[in-house]
Amino acid sequence: MDGRVSASEFTADRSADPSADLSAPARLAAPTEGISLEEVALAARNHGLPLEALRYDLTPPGLHYVLVHYDIPAADPRTWELTVRGRVRTPLTLDMAALRSFPAVTQRVTMECAGNGRARLAPRPVSQPWLVEAVGTAEWTGVPLRTLLDRAGVEPDAVEAVFTGADHGIERGVEQDYQRSLPLADATGTDPEVLVAYEMNGAPLPPQHGCPLRLVVPGWYGMAHVKWLRKITLVDSPFTGFQQEVAYRYRREAEEPGEPVTRIAPRALMIPPGFPDFMSRTRVVRPGSVRLEGRAWSGRAPLTKIEVSTDDGHSWHDAALAPPEGHDWAWRYWQAPWTATPGRHVLSVRATDASGHTQPVTQPWNRGGFGNNLVQRISVWCLQDGLRDDD
Amino acid sequence: MDGRVSASEFTADRSADPSADLSAPARLAAPTEGISLEEVALAARNHGLPLEALRYDLTPPGLHYVLVHYDIPAADPRTWELTVRGRVRTPLTLDMAALRSFPAVTQRVTMECAGNGRARLAPRPVSQPWLVEAVGTAEWTGVPLRTLLDRAGVEPDAVEAVFTGADHGIERGVEQDYQRSLPLADATGTDPEVLVAYEMNGAPLPPQHGCPLRLVVPGWYGMAHVKWLRKITLVDSPFTGFQQEVAYRYRREAEEPGEPVTRIAPRALMIPPGFPDFMSRTRVVRPGSVRLEGRAWSGRAPLTKIEVSTDDGHSWHDAALAPPEGHDWAWRYWQAPWTATPGRHVLSVRATDASGHTQPVTQPWNRGGFGNNLVQRISVWCLQDGLRDDD
């Protein structure tokens, strides 16, 4: 049938072998290979923060980045139960009312996907194709994890807490519930304090953000903040599950064990100034004074410096950075003046934190495309007159 | 600098000419051309409905599809004003309190992007790369447009109402505020009844859905539902603005005038059964009874038939379609039983409406990639046993 979409619409190489057809190994795109429909299918489901939404201190839920590994579960808060099991003296089973009966804590936290920046890498790891926008900041309300662990009584031989979500799927040939662990010191720390959260910006969690219950691990990339949390298991040896030992490792070669992906590297983002072209997202500003502004964050150490460049990274100038105002794990506002002159400009911003890390201008490549905090580049035309106005 | 991302990161052909650099003409992708970073930048901002969210009668705002042409404006509801001008006896200026003082109407409406399905076309029009998911259903509350037009008193020579949003940008070389028109008969009709809406699912509009005010035109594709609505102008000759005469036309050749894109063609979507592979989104089900279910809609005429195929379109069987229950402009639930047997299957569903239109199995190609209601295809493996479970 002419024009009929073939069985190969979504994968180039179908076969009778379910494991090859279903769930191929991780791979890098060839140098000339454009982005595939599989990657676009992920990009159509998951989404980043439209960069103009950096204007909001707190990101509205539908603008906050979302990455869902499998499907959003059909969770019912009325029957939801969280269990705490394993190396504890008193196993717990807690429904939402029981969780809400503990004293609630609210924390403002910036969350970023570990894969943010992946699609800008060359060669490009084939996965969710983020550019720079996989971030958001919300106020999360819930029970401190350490309160629940205190109640359960952690045995002295426990070394990690394993968190199991209700989302179920296959990844690189491995069928699994989404699971991640934290070392006990991180799970029970007071700064950052890990939350078992049931509210986002004062409302029950939306489905895509883990309704009715999720983990919030301030300062860590998103993979640690297990959504649809249904089970916490204390274990006496390090967890070796897929998301811990296979995915979410910094590796240059496929076979090396790699280093675990943990805390968020420093990053600053600018609200693209002026107004955009629909397709290229290139910006237009008028000549004269333009305020450059945005947000910056690091999960590793307090920010110490924000710099902007208006000449594609040739020179850098300090921006003014707002104080953290008690929100140590949330982004901070920054601004810098700019006098725009006619012509094309490339704007960038970079963050430095107290650990001495500065965002790179050369890509920090790894096979998974994790932690790519390469500086943002915004292409701007400063034009004296408008283009033809339609009206 | 090795690895430095070059000035050509986002467009292949930079030049000193702002109009070429900023805003290139519309084009089709070459046969072997993958999806570009520009298209991915749009896909990272805009997003579709994760298909499992077809389970909700009303789509939560953060799961409802979003397409923003330019930037989400920084709108302040406290100072927002809507003006009604042009061929009216009494020009109006209405703040939000004034708009809320009119009797409110609530309507359940399914909205779909006119570009839904575009990325499945060959050749592919280069634009926002939707597959099948650019849809959502919400209850919109506001004032009927005809109430406002009655209040203003439309002059007898008015033929159309032009709607201007606050979003400003450039498209195909034309700087513009987003603007669309409706013929007066559509603007003042009672079924469908056009709304000037300020609430979505009982809450103020979220920023990305038009806060504080948008048009809702039941049965029409999304381009008609002007967001961040600030001006209604009654005109005595048909509006020829960019979004009316250049974009949103069904054309096979670039130079032909084409037909306007108006009402939503029939479509049914299935909730992908079982569970997915992360990267391919291919599904796994166990052998035995599986309920196939989803939603179907048409903006042209009532639905008359929903059919499913479990053999890649070779045979079709009727599904059970729920009644509209008073929501004539919203999707309807459908379901059909299936007995899954081991092996690979391709599931599809198609809708037929009372105008006699059935979703095609060959692509309805046009240069803009509009109204592509080609049937959905879901690749499913039915497996007796699981793949290796990590836990």
Reported as a single tens digit per residue, the pLDDT across A153-181 is: 999 999 999 999 999 999 999 999 999 99
CB of A379 within 8 A of CB of A346? yes
Please spell the DSSP secondary structure of A61-113, one letter per residue. Answer: TTTS-B--SS------TTT-EEEEEESBSS-EEEEHHHHHTSPPEEEEEEEE-
Distance from CA of A318 to the nearest CA of B (A): 22
Give the ipTM of the model, two decimals please: 0.93
Please give the single-letter amino acid code of residue A138. Answer: A
Question: Helix, strand, or coil here: A44?
Answer: helix
Task: Calculate mean pLDDT across residues B315-331.
Answer: 97
CB contact under 8 A, B390 and A70: no
What is the rounded radius of gyration, in angstroms, for the C-alpha atoms of chain B?
22
Task: Calculate mean pLDDT across residues A359-370.
Answer: 94
CATH of domain B267-382: 2.60.40.650
From the list A63, A68, A276, which residue is nearest B71 (CB)? A276
- The CA-atom distances, in angstroms, between B18 and each of A380, A382, A386, B15, B70 are 10, 9, 11, 7, 18
Q: What is the pLDDT of residue B2?
A: 32
CB contact under 8 A, A279 and B48: no
CB contact under 8 A, B282 and A72: no
Cα(B171)–Cα(B150) distance, integer angstroms:
34
Query: Which part of chain B has CATH 3.90.420.10?
Result: 22-260
CB contact under 8 A, A344 and B16: yes
CB of A184 within 8 A of CB of A160? yes
CB contact under 8 A, B386 and A175: yes
Fill in the DSSP letter of residue A227.
S
Distance from CA of B259 to the nearest CA of A (A): 20
Cα(B143)–Cα(A143) distance, integer angstroms:
42
CB contact under 8 A, A40 and B361: no
Cα(A308)–Cα(B39) distance, integer angstroms:
27
DSSP helix, strand, coil percent of chain A (3-state; round to 5) = 15, 35, 50
B8-19: pLDDT as tens digits = 343 434 445 677
Instruction: Report the DSSP pairing between strands A81-86 and A229-235.
Output: parallel
User: Over chain B, what is the mean pLDDT?
Assistant: 93
Residue in chain A lying closest to B242 (CA) = A390
Cα(A164)–Cα(A166) distance, integer angstroms:
7
Cα(A5)–Cα(B123) distance, integer angstroms:
12
Q: What is the pLDDT of residue B195?
A: 98
On the CB side of A173, CA atoms within 13 Å amount to 8
Token readout for A283 is 């910006």
What values do phi and psi take at B41, rounded to 5?
-60, -40
What values do phi and psi take at B167, rounded to 5?
-80, 130
Please give the single-letter amino acid code of residue A233. Answer: T
User: Pick the residue with more confidence: B385 or B77?
Assistant: B77
Burial (Cβ within 10 Å: 0-12, 13-18, ≥19) of residue B146: middle
Contacts of A134 in chain B (CB under 8 A): 44
Distance between start and end Cα atoms, chain B: 45
Token readout for A355 is 């650990």
CB contact under 8 A, A38 and B284: no
CB contact under 8 A, B129 and A60: no
Distance from CA of A50 to the nearest CA of B (A): 5
| Residue recorded with tokens 């609210």 | A106
CATH pick for B22-260 out of 3.40.50.300, 3.90.420.10, 3.40.30.10, 1.10.3720.10: 3.90.420.10
Cα(B64)–Cα(B43) distance, integer angstroms:
14
CB of A359 within 8 A of CB of A374? yes
Q: Is the pLDDT of residue A18 over 80?
A: no
Q: Is the pLDDT of residue B31 over 90?
A: no
Task: Calculate mean pLDDT across residues A337-362.
Answer: 97
Which residues in A144-164 are b (16+ Cβ under 10 Å) and which e?
A: bbbbbbeebebeeebebbbbb
Distance from CA of A275 to the nearest CA of B (A): 5
Residue in chain A lying closest to B116 (CA) = A44
Q: What is the pLDDT of residue B22?
A: 87
Distance between start and end Cα atoms, chain A: 45
What values do phi and psi take at B160, rounded to 5?
-145, 160
Burial (Cβ within 10 Å: 0-12, 13-18, ≥19) of residue B356: exposed
Residue in chain B lying closest to A280 (CA) = B38
Query: Which part of chain A has CATH 3.90.420.10?
Result: 23-260
CB contact under 8 A, A169 and B362: no
Distance from CA of A236 to the nearest CA of B (A): 16
User: Over chain A, what is the mean pLDDT?
Assistant: 93
CB contact under 8 A, B312 and A7: yes
Please give the single-letter amino acid code of residue B322. Answer: A
From the list A43, A70, A272, which residue is nearest B278 (CB)? A70
| Residue recorded with tokens 């450059």 | A292
Cα(A223)–Cα(A209) distance, integer angstroms:
12
Determine the residue among A22, A113, A205 to mutate to test chain B binding: the one whose Cβ has the most chain B Cβ atoms within 10 Å.
A22
Distance from CA of B328 to the nearest CA of A (A): 27
From the list B1, B22, B35, which residue is nearest A35 (CB)? B35
Query: Which part of chain A has CATH 2.60.40.650?
Result: 267-382
User: Pick the residue with more confidence: B26 or A141?
Assistant: A141
CB contact under 8 A, A171 and B40: no
Q: What is the pLDDT of residue B17?
A: 67
Query: Into which CATH architecture does domain A23-260 fall?
Result: Alpha-Beta Complex (3.90)
